[in-house]
Structure 1
Amino acid sequence: MAHFTVIGLGRFGIAASLELIHLGHTVTGVDRNPKIAELYVEDLTQSIICDVTDEHALRELELAASNAVLVAIGEDLESSLLCILALKNLGVKEIWVKASSKAHHTIVSKLGVARIIHPEEEMGVRIAQALNYPMVNNYLSIGHGLYVVDIEVKSALHDQPISTLLSKTQGDVDAILVKRGRETFIRLSDDFLLQEHDTFLLCGTREALEQIAPRLV
């Protein structure tokens, strides 16, 4: 279990906070609006009212003890930047920042934060991928042009060996695991038989995964 601090309890900030709690972590939520902070007193581990642009006020929260601090301040660019600078001065090393514009991203990138997030843009990409490949439940970019995709096996692949699916892309796409009910299979041979409704994880380049997409329908 880890402890996180989320600064800015708008829709994005509270969604991230509640999901972290759902995953078993503790979360301190911080907002300068008393009504918003009080609204989530029962939902978060702590909900604190604080002027996040005031370094002295932030110092009292002992944020350096958090595994990471997420700055989820929305459109207020000045407040976001002042908050980040204060966190850096306080020795917080793992700072994640929600950027609301290219200008915001450009400035924040100069401040040495751990990660800059563009939630609307990233969700737009995910929606486009889902529309383009409806057979893919989820996907994750792992860098260097590689992706992990999560698919549900359809009836056309029932009782078919993995080699049938990957025959023309062997080496470009790797089968990671198959989830079948409560069972998980991780050492997958070429003759492993897929069953309808299996959850199948594949890893490969986008080009290779696109090649086999028609076979997943």
Structure 2
Amino acid sequence: MAHFTVIGLGRFGVSASMELIYLGHTVTGVDRDAKIAEKYVDDFTQVMICDSTDENALKELDLINSDAVLVAIGEDMESSLLCILALKKIGVKEIWVKASSRAHHTIVSKLGVARIIHPEEEMGVRVAQALNYPMVNDYLSIGHGLYVVEIHIKPQLDGRPLGDVLDPAKGKVDAVMVKREQETFLQLDKKFVLKEKDILLLCGPRSELKHIAPRLA
């Protein structure tokens, strides 16, 4: 279990916080608006009212003990940048930032933060991928041109061996796991028989995943 601090309790900040709590972590939520902060007193591990652009005020929050601080301040780029600078001055190492624009991203990238997030852009990419490959329930880029995709097995693939599905990829796509109700299968070979409603995780280059997509539709 880790502890995170989320600064800015708009929709993005609250959504990220709730998911972290669901995953078993503790979260301190921070917002300068008392009415907003008070809304989430019962949902967060802790909620603090604080002007996040004030270095002295941030020092009082003991942020050094957070595993990461997420700056989720919305469209107010100036407040976001001042908050980041204050966090750097007090010694916070792991800073994640929501960027609201390309200009925001460009400036933040010069400040040495751990990660910059574009929620709308990233969600737009996911929607486009879902529209382009409707058989893919979810996907994750793991770098070096590799992707992990989640496939829900349709009725037409029921009873088919895994090798039939992966054969066109010629060994360039690997089956990582199959989840079947309460069972998980990790040792998968070409003879493994798929069943309807199985959840199949595949890993490989996007071009090869695209190549076998028609067999998964």
TM-score, normalization by structure 2:
0.99
* In structure 1, distance between residues paired with 2:184 and 2:19: 25
Secondary structure of the 2:42 match is: coil
2:38 and 2:62 mapped to 1: Cα distance?
Answer: 20
Using the aligned pairs only, state the percent identity: 72
Q: Which residue of 1 aligns with 2:75?
A: 75
| CA root-mean-square deviation | 0.6
Kindly tell me the number of residue pairs found equivalent between the two proteins. 217
The aligned counterpart of 2:201 is 201
1:109 aligns with 2:109: yes
Q: What is the aligned partner in structure 2 of residue 121 from structure 1?
A: 121
Residue 100 of structure 2: aligned partner? 100
Displacement after TM superposition at 1:126 (Å)? 0.4
The correspondence of residues 36-51 of structure 1 with structure 2, limited to 5 A, is 36-51=36-51
Q: What amino acid is aligned across from residue 113 of structure 1 in structure 2? A: V
Residue equivalent to 1:138: 138
In the alignment, what sits opposite 1:14? Answer: 14
AA partner of residue 149 (structure 1): V
Taking structure 1 as the reference length, the TM-score comes to 0.99
Tell which deviates more after alignment, 102-111 or 151-160: 151-160
For structure 1, list consecutive stretches of 5 or more residues without a partner in the other structure: none
In structure 2, the partner of 1:23 is 23
Superposed displacement of residue 170, structure 1? 2.5
Output one character per residue of 1:123-178: Cα deviation in whole Å (capped at 9) or x when no partner.
00001111111111100000010000000111111111111011121221000010
Q: Which runs of 4+ in 1 moved over 4 A?
A: none
Describe the superposition over 1:11-66 as per-residue Cα deviations: whole angstroms up to 9, x where unpaired: 00001111111111100000000110111111101111000000000001010100
- Judge which range, 73-82 or 167-176, deviates more: 167-176
Q: Distance in 1 between matches of 2:182 and 2:113?
A: 40
Distance 1:158 1:17 in 2: 39
Q: Using the alignment, how far apart are the partners of 1:36 and 1:75 within structure 2?
A: 16
